[in-house]
C-alpha cells in the first residue's frame, strides 16, 4: 500500500487510542483541586514524574470546558513573565511599555481559561521571581488576566526534577500545595478508557453566609489562642518551598474552609487543602479546632441528658464527656452532678464503655458528702471495673513479653 495510506491508518489508530470517557467517581485529591480552582486560588501539584499531573489538568480543563494554556516555566526567560520592553517613538515622554507574551493575550481575549504552569521546580530563581506578580496579582507586563482565568502549576520534588531548584519562599507561599499521587484503580480504569470526572463543587446558596461566618470564627479563634502561628517561616530550606503559615496563607485557608463548608466537602478533602496551605502542624491544629466547634454544648447536654446526641468518633466523644465534667466542676450543684451521670450513662449505652472511665472517675471526685449516690453509678461502676481489669491484664501481658 502507498505510504500515505499507512500513515492515514496510523492516524486513525491514534485517534481511537485517544478516545476516552469519564465517569463520576469519588476522588479526594481531584475534589480538593476543583475546590481550590473554584475558590480562585493558585494551586501547585507536587508529584513524581509520570504520575499523571499533566493528564489530570488536561482532563480538568475539558471537564470544566475551559481552554487550557500550558506554559513550561523552566524554558522561559524572566522577561517572558514580567513583559518584554517595547521602545516607542518618544520613550522619554511616553515611557517604555512592557508587552505581554502571546499566550497571555489569548487568555485575555478568551476571557476565561486554565493557565497551567508546568515544571515549576526546574525554573531558576530569576524566573521564579518574575512569576511572583503573575501568581499573586495576575499581571503580565501591562496586562491583567481576567477573573475567569484560573492558575494551576505542577512541580517535581527536587530529588526527582531535572536540574531542580527549591521553590522560593515568596512564591511557595502564594500556592495551595497538593501532593499528587496515583490511585491504582483509577490508573487501570483510565487506561481502559474511563477516567474520573472533575466537576466544580455544588455550593449551597443557603449555606453561604454560615460558611463565611464559620470560617472566620474558626481561623480567628485559633490565631487568637495561638498568635505564634500567624507567621512562621520554616528554618529548613526545603520546607520553605512548601506550605507554611503567614497572613496571606491564612487568608487562603479561610477561603478554602468557607468553600468546603458551603459545598459540604468531607473532612479528608478539607484536610488536604488546609495542610497544603499552612502546613501540617498548623493545619492539623485548625482541623482540631473545627472539630471542637461542632461539638455539642455541655450545658445543653446537662439540661436534657436523655436527648443527648454524642459524636461517633471516639476522640470527639471523649472531649464532650470531659467538657461535661468540667462544666460541673466550674459550677457544681446536686442537679448538675446527677445530670452529668445521666449523660455518662447515655454515652455508655451508645458507644464504647472505656470512654466513660476517665470522666466517671473525675465526676465521682466532685461528690459532696450531702449528695446521695445516684443509681446511674451502679451501671457505670461495672464498666469502670471491667476497663481497669482489662488494663491490668494488658499490663501483665506486656510485662511477660518484655522478660
Return phi, psi of residue 71, to 5°: -125, 120
SS3 97: coil
The fraction of the chain above a pLDDT of 90, given in percent, is 35
The number of angstroms, rounded, from the C-alpha of 256 to the middle of its chain's C-alpha atoms is 8
The fraction of the chain above a pLDDT of 70, given in percent, is 88
- Top mean pLDDT of 202-206, 247-251, 399-403 is at 247-251
Q: What is the pLDDT of residue 37?
A: 94
Rounded CA-CA distance 94/87 in Å is: 9
**What is the chain's mean pLDDT, rounded?**
85
- Average pLDDT over every residue of 160-187: 84
The pLDDT-based confidence of 60 (bands split at 50, 70, 90) is: confident
Residue 387 has pLDDT above 50, yes or no: no
CB 114 within 8 A of CB 69: yes
Q: What is the pLDDT of residue 171?
A: 92
Fold of the 11-85+97-196 domain:
Rossmann fold (3.40.50)
Rounded CA-CA distance 181/179 in Å is: 6
The pLDDT-based confidence of 89 (bands split at 50, 70, 90) is: low
Rg of the chain, C-alpha, whole Å: 29
Where does residue 134 rank: exposed (0-12), middle (13-18), buried (19+ CB within 10 A)?
A: buried
Residue 97 has pLDDT above 80, yes or no: no
Rounded CA-CA distance 160/382 in Å is: 58
Q: What is the pLDDT of residue 402?
A: 57
Q: Among 312-321, 340-349, 350-359, 378-387, which stretch is predicted with the lowest mean pLDDT?
A: 378-387
Rounded CA-CA distance 354/349 in Å is: 12
From the list 80, 69, 71, 65, the residue with the least C-alpha distance to 143 is 80
63-81 residue pLDDT tens: 888 999 999 988 888 888 8
From the list 372, 368, 313, 306, the residue with the least C-alpha distance to 339 is 306
| Domains of the chain by residue range | 11-85+97-196, 205-293, 298-401
Rounded CA-CA distance 258/219 in Å is: 11
Rounded CA-CA distance 392/147 in Å is: 64
- C-alpha cell of residue 323: 467538657
- Average pLDDT over every residue of 151-165: 76
Question: What DSSP state is assigned to residue 111?
Answer: S
- C-alpha cell of residue 154: 505542577
User: Which positions ≥6 away from 145 have C-beta within 8 Å?
Assistant: 104, 107, 108, 115, 134, 138, 139
Cα within 13 Å of Cα(187), Cβ side: 8
Q: What is the pLDDT of residue 314?
A: 83
- Average pLDDT over every residue of 322-329: 90
103-142 residue pLDDT tens: 888 999 999 999 999 888 888 888 888 888 889 889 887 7
Rounded CA-CA distance 245/388 in Å is: 43
Rounded CA-CA distance 381/364 in Å is: 11
Residue 201 has pLDDT above 90, yes or no: no
The pLDDT-based confidence of 289 (bands split at 50, 70, 90) is: confident
Q: What is the pLDDT of residue 42?
A: 95
CB 155 within 8 A of CB 177: no
Amino acid at each position: 500500500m502507498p505510504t500515505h495510506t499507512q500513515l492515514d491508518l496510523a492516524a486513525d489508530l491514534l485517534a481511537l487510542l485517544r478516545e476516552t470517557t469519564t465517569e463520576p467517581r469519588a476522588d479526594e485529591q481531584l475534589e480538593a483541586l476543583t475546590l481550590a480552582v473554584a475558590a480562585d486560588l493558585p494551586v501547585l501539584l507536587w508529584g513524581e514524574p509520570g504520575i499523571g499531573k499533566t493528564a489530570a489538568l488536561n482532563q480538568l480543563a475539558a471537564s470544566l470546558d475551559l481552554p487550557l494554556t500550558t506554559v513550561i516555566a523552566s524554558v522561559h526567560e524572566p522577561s517572558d513573565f514580567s513583559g518584554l520592553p517595547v521602545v516607542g517613538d518618544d520613550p522619554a515622554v511616553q515611557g517604555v511599555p512592557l508587552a505581554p507574551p502571546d499566550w497571555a493575550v489569548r487568555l485575555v481575549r478568551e476571557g476565561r481559561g486554565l493557565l497551567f504552569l508546568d515544571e515549576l521546580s526546574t525554573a531558576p530563581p530569576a524566573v521564579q521571581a518574575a512569576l511572583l506578580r503573575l501568581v499573586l496579582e495576575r499581571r503580565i507586563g501591562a496586562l491583567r488576566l481576567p477573573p475567569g482565568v484560573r492558575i494551576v502549576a505542577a512541580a517535581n520534588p527536587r530529588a526527582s526534577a531535572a536540574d531542580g531548584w527549591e521553590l522560593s519562599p515568596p512564591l511557595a507561599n502564594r500556592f495551595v500545595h497538593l501532593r499528587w499521587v496515583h490511585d491504582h484503580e483509577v490508573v487501570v480504569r483510565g487506561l481502559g478508557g474511563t477516567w474520573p470526572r472533575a466537576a466544580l463543587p455544588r455550593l449551597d446558596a443557603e449555606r453561604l453566609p454560615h460558611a463565611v461566618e464559620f470560617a472566620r470564627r474558626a481561623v480567628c479563634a485559633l490565631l487568637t489562642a495561638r498568635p505564634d502561628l500567624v507567621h512562621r517561616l520554616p528554618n529548613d530550606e526545603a520546607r520553605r518551598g512548601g506550605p507554611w503559615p503567614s497572613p496571606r496563607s491564612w487568608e487562603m485557608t479561610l477561603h478554602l474552609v468557607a468553600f468546603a463548608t458551603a459545598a459540604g466537602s468531607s473532612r479528608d478533602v478539607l484536610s488536604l487543602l488546609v495542610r497544603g496551605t499552612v502546613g501540617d502542624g498548623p493545619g492539623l491544629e485548625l482541623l482540631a479546632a473545627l472539630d471542637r466547634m461542632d461539638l455539642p454544648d455541655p450545658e445543653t447536654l446537662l439540661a436534657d441528658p436523655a436527648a443527648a446526641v454524642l459524636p461517633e468518633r471516639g476522640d470527639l466523644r471523649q472531649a464532650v464527656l470531659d467538657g461535661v465534667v468540667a462544666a460541673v466542676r466550674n459550677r457544681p450543684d446536686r442537679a448538675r452532678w446527677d445530670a452529668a451521670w445521666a449523660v455518662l450513662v447515655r454515652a455508655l449505652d451508645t458507644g464504647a464503655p472505656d470512654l466513660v472511665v476517665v470522666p466517671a472517675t473525675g465526676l465521682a471526685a466532685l461528690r459532696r458528702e450531702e449528695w446521695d449516690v445516684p443509681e446511674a453509678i451502679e451501671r457505670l461502676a461495672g464498666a469502670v471495673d471491667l476497663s481497669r481489669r482489662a488494663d491490668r491484664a494488658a499490663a501483665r501481658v506486656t510485662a511477660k513479653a518484655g522478660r
